[in-house]
Copies of this chain bind each other. A is one copy, B any other.
Amino acid sequence: MFFQIDFADGLAIYDQLVRQVKFAVAGGLLRAGELVPSVRELARELTVNPNTVARAYRQLQAEDVLQTVRGMGMAVAEHAPRRCRTERVTLIRTRVRQVLAEARRSRLDAGELRALVEAELAAVEQEEA
């Protein structure tokens, strides 16, 4: 599976899952109507408690990203891909903004910050290629 949890992230596990499901939907890894891994299966894979996965799925359901299919599991909602693609940019931008804001408050030299960010950005693009 394409989900991975960082147990030392500080961010709650269910929250990491919520984000990653949205990203998977946004990125086309999960298509509209497609069943997501079952609560139990995903919990086993991530070595996480089923309740934790269930909580993430419940929130995704409340946000109309997932919907339950009786007796079958949970599926990506009809219009979720479009909305997730939109939200993806927002979620990432917020994070980027937080990091840069903190960096700026740390009085790191503007040039040094830019160099650092450019380097990491280049590294990411490298990996992608």
Contacts and interface: CB of A to CB of B under 8 A. Distances in A.
Contacts of A125: 110, 114
B116 A96 contact: yes
Copies in the complex: 4
Instruction: Summarize A's interface: helix, strand, loop or mixed.
Output: helix
Nearest to A12: B10
19 contacts: A4-B105, A9-B98, A10-B10, A19-B102, A26-B106, A26-B107, A27-B106, A27-B107, A27-B108, A88-B108, A89-B116, A92-B102, A92-B108, A92-B116, A96-B99, A100-B121, A100-B123, A100-B124, A110-B125
Given A93-B116, A96-B116, A128 B110 contact: yes
